[in-house]
Chains A and B, each alone.
Chain A
């Protein structure tokens, strides 16, 4: 509608602009057919299939899922939330890495500076810590949920085994991260934890020595735990997660109904 001066209203201009962008070749090239972001998307059964089938989501989800699996009360979304927390922890962890040096001299000061003089530093650190605790919890609850549904029964036996590995890796990730602030809490919790591991006969002391880079927690341990925490364990856990998700679909999707 004209404003009386031969011009267009702002809202109309924006609308026109949006239409032009969504009809443009750049936008067109960004989304595959059936994307809801594409111009002219309509909510048809075919397009509903395309949203999954024609996008990267197809690596995670099939086009259709069992109706009972969609109910929140069946899964409580625990597996998905564990995965999402992992992503959140990766994002916040990368942020923290910018401000952190894994040496006995610098680590504590860096964390202190991060909490006091970096914008949102304290918030991101808190999110990383509480998110990590939450992830241990959701992974554990996810395992319990799977057990009570008997979802580890054939053909899903091996996916359960992978799941236990993922729980172990989650615990290790959390435990290696525990040391990094290099405060009294970190040092002595890790000392107690590794002492417990050292009780394992035959290879226990060896593993403890390799893990600590010595006979007790030192600056070497800090570097080791840092590398394990930010590189090695995430790398391993991503591989296990990929197999885990893949097996969920190959073994016939979500289990049940009871």
Chain B
């Protein structure tokens, strides 16, 4: 139940009191549920019920933060309005719903007969239209009765789209696959570590520069570039600008909304070029660079990369 702010309650009560010609205090008391309605012609229930949105379909379990938005609706003899924040766009509920005159001659029977038309679980969206569905009948010309009917929640901060999707339970379908992958990876790593010894050369010596000196393998592509180009280009522009900033900017440069491979041939071509290029440069740096960072053939002169020394043997 959402508490209606005091100033809104007061404003609503004033408007209603003006329309009905009764004291403000009476209407206010009635709205708060402290006193019985002055006559049967006024609405039976004044405290609207706001149902909390059922966000089970988001399957994320979070309550979307919403701001309460107070909506004034034309005088309606409707016991309750279910403001389902997700079923309808709530901020269009600002127009009078099927408005019913509640003054004098309309009598209690109107008040009682009206609810089935718009209340309950009949699609509220149908009655919610940008324009009034029906003009108030017995309200004098120029008097627009306003009454606080309900407090509905404003649009959720996050857009919850619940389009039907083919889904399966995470347990067991995803968890089993993940757990298997995890076990396989652990097994693979243990076997690898039993077979291959991590390199440990002699103690670090500042006076004995090994020839060649190579960076870790993931930087060897860059080192390879550095041997071709000026450091300003290979050491700055390629890794810094195109590598880092360029990669981060990809989603903002590629505005093509499609994810179909046939629609994004150019993007795929570029990325594949990058992959092939970096793989080639890294392989060159790891395997085909010997003393003085000159070209060698690994099958002729052996591997000049210490991380790999125990991996591959060439006799």
Residues of A within 8 A of B214 (CB): 188-189, 192
Q: Do A134 and B189 touch (CB < 8 A)?
A: yes
Residues of A within 8 A of B198 (CB): 125-126, 128-130
Q: B264 near A: Cβ within 8 Å?
A: yes
Q: Do B167 and A84 touch (CB < 8 A)?
A: no
Q: Do B189 and A88 touch (CB < 8 A)?
A: yes
Residues of B within 8 A of A51 (CB): 171, 175
Q: B218 near A: Cβ within 8 Å?
A: yes
The residue among A57, A133, A178, A199 with the most chain B CB atoms within 10 A of its own CB is A199
Q: B134 near A: Cβ within 8 Å?
A: no
Q: A20 near B: Cβ within 8 Å?
A: no
Residues of B within 8 A of A184 (CB): 201-205, 208, 210
- Given A88-B186, A122-B197, A258-B261, check contact A250 B251 (CB 8 Å): no
Q: Do B202 and A183 touch (CB < 8 A)?
A: yes
- Given A67-B167, A88-B189, A193-B219, check contact A148 B60 (CB 8 Å): no
Q: Do B199 and A185 touch (CB < 8 A)?
A: yes
Chain A residues numbered 120-147 whose CB sits less than 8 Å from any CB in chain B: 122-123, 125-131, 133-134, 136, 140, 144, 147
Closest to A196 in B: B235
Q: B123 near A: Cβ within 8 Å?
A: no
Q: Do B61 and A58 touch (CB < 8 A)?
A: yes
CB B236 to nearest CB in A, in angstroms, measures 5
Q: B40 near A: Cβ within 8 Å?
A: no
Residues of B within 8 A of A201 (CB): 232, 236
Residues of A within 8 A of B268 (CB): 148
Tell me the bound Cα distance from A65 to B216 in angstroms.
38
Tell me the bound Cα distance from A160 to B247 in angstroms.
9
Q: Do A161 and B232 touch (CB < 8 A)?
A: no
Chain A residues numbered 194-215 whose CB sits less than 8 Å from any CB in chain B: 196-197, 199-201, 204
Residues of B within 8 A of A16 (CB): none
Q: A233 near B: Cβ within 8 Å?
A: no
Q: Do A64 and B61 touch (CB < 8 A)?
A: no
The residue among B204, B222, B275 with the most chain A CB atoms within 10 A of its own CB is B204
Residues of A within 8 A of B205 (CB): 184, 187
Q: A230 near B: Cβ within 8 Å?
A: no
Q: Do A183 and B197 touch (CB < 8 A)?
A: no
The residue among B170, B217, B271 with the most chain A CB atoms within 10 A of its own CB is B170
Tell me the bound Cα distance from A70 to B214 in angstroms.
41
Tell me the bound Cα distance from A21 to B233 in angstroms.
68
The residue among B167, B209, B257 with the most chain A CB atoms within 10 A of its own CB is B167
Tell me the bound Cα distance from A52 to B61 in angstroms.
11
Residues of A within 8 A of B170 (CB): 52, 57, 61-65
Tell me the bound Cα distance from A252 to B204 in angstroms.
50
Binds B, one of A7-15, A23-31, A107-115, A235-243: A107-115
Q: A22 near B: Cβ within 8 Å?
A: no
Residues of B within 8 A of A126 (CB): 192-194, 196-198
Residues of B within 8 A of A115 (CB): 200
Q: B178 near A: Cβ within 8 Å?
A: yes
Q: Do B235 and A127 touch (CB < 8 A)?
A: no
Contact with A along B29-65 (1 / 0, CB 8 A): 0000000000000000000000000000001110000
Q: B314 near A: Cβ within 8 Å?
A: no
Q: B165 near A: Cβ within 8 Å?
A: yes
Q: Which of A64, A88, A189 contacts B169 (CB 8 A)?
A: A64
Tell me the bound Cα distance from A104 to B252 in angstroms.
46
Q: B92 near A: Cβ within 8 Å?
A: no
Q: B185 near A: Cβ within 8 Å?
A: yes
Closest to B172 in A: A48
Q: Do B166 and A108 touch (CB < 8 A)?
A: no
Closest to B203 in A: A108
Can you list 20 A-B contacts with CB-CB less than 8 angstroms, sorted by A residue number? A48-B172, A66-B167, A88-B185, A112-B200, A126-B193, A127-B189, A130-B189, A130-B196, A134-B189, A147-B271, A150-B260, A150-B267, A152-B250, A153-B259, A168-B244, A175-B216, A189-B216, A193-B215, A193-B219, A258-B259
Residues of B within 8 A of A (CB): 59-61, 158, 161, 165-175, 177-178, 181-182, 185-186, 189-190, 192-194, 196-206, 208-210, 213-219, 222-223, 226, 231-232, 234-236, 240, 244, 247-248, 250-252, 254, 256-261, 264, 267-268, 271, 275, 306-307
Residues of A within 8 A of B (CB): 45, 48-49, 51-53, 57-58, 61-70, 72, 77, 80-81, 84-85, 88, 104, 108, 111-112, 115, 122-123, 125-131, 133-134, 136, 140, 144, 147-154, 156-158, 160-161, 164-165, 168, 171, 174-175, 178, 181-189, 191-193, 196-197, 199-201, 204, 216-217, 249-250, 252, 255-256, 258
Q: A53-B61, A134-B189, A157-B252 are in contact. List 20 more A-B contacts (CB 8 A).
A: A45-B169, A49-B169, A62-B60, A66-B166, A66-B168, A77-B177, A81-B185, A123-B193, A140-B218, A150-B259, A153-B251, A154-B251, A160-B251, A161-B248, A164-B247, A182-B203, A186-B204, A193-B216, A250-B158, A252-B161
The 3 closest A-B CB pairs, nearest first, are A199-B235, A150-B259, A157-B251
